Amino acid sequence: MSEGHYKKENILIEALPYIREFYDSFMVIKVGGHAMVDPEIMSAIVEDIVLLRFVGIHPVIVHGGGPEITEKMEQMGKKPEFVGGLRITDDETVEIARMVLVGSINTKIVSLIGQHGAKGVGLSGKDGKMIMARKKPAQRVMIEDIEHSVDLGWVGETEIINPELIHIVTDQGYIPVISPIAVDNEGNALNINADTVAGDIAKSLQAKKLILMTDVAGLMRDPSDTTTRISRVLAPQVEDLIDEGIIGGGMIPKMRSASTSVKNGVERVHIINGSVPHSILLELFTDGGIGTMVF
């Protein structure tokens, strides 16, 4: 037997206890960042997710689309603005976000699932009142050492997750693909950070895993040095790391979502680099880690 075959067999044997442990469990995978604009990376990620489905796991995809929303805004002559990693969302911006997330990205992911041999179904948080939300209050920010109150517009925070529709489609063998557009009690559309939505949905499903895919190899002590990756973080440490400035920018909602999810029953949260080939499989089915785990 060749050395190559031996190595492949070892890999399969290493994966077996994990497959057994995760069988019939929910895993929520949030896809975003560079993967959303690179067709090859996106296709490879979906292929991994389809594999999860065929080994008896129930994957649920939540997708972002920040770079695409920004690109579309700039094409329309509108300058994106952010506060604490959250996009300021006026009437025009929320319509652009809905158009990009629901009308473009969601349908592309569903199509890829079909190409890889599984069944996908596109949903938004408005469907079946899956994500009921309220408008986020004004945020307090420091600008040139002066505190200001900033209205984020149609940016929401989750009040209720109704997972009934997710259970219905997964019971029928579909992989749900969810856009982070929620609805309030008056029927207004609200844009919610996709990392936050993924965490809220994972909590409602009591998911075994929440996987947040991004463009970096997890949380870094020094963002310019990949050797400073922090591989394990206890959920209660997250706010302290934010205060210390180690967690900043777009990593803030990711890590807060991870911390909240763990505190509310999700076993483990993994932040991994989606551009690494088969990063989901490497994270789930091997003994080594490639990102940051929050537990």
Annotated binding site for substrate: 65-66, 87, 191
Residues 6+ away with beta carbon under 8 Å from 143: none
How far, CA to CA in Å, does 251 sit from each of 36, 144, 161, 164, 187? 17, 23, 23, 30, 30
Beta strand 131-135 pairing with 139-143: unpaired
Please give the single-letter amino acid code of residue 129. Answer: K
Pair 146, 203: CB distance under 8 Å: no
Q: Say what the alpha-carbon torsion angle 42, 48, 50, 52 is, to the nearest 10 degrees.
A: -150
- How many CA atoms does the CB half-sphere of 80 hold within 13 Å? 17
Residue ranges of the binding site: 65-66, 87, 191
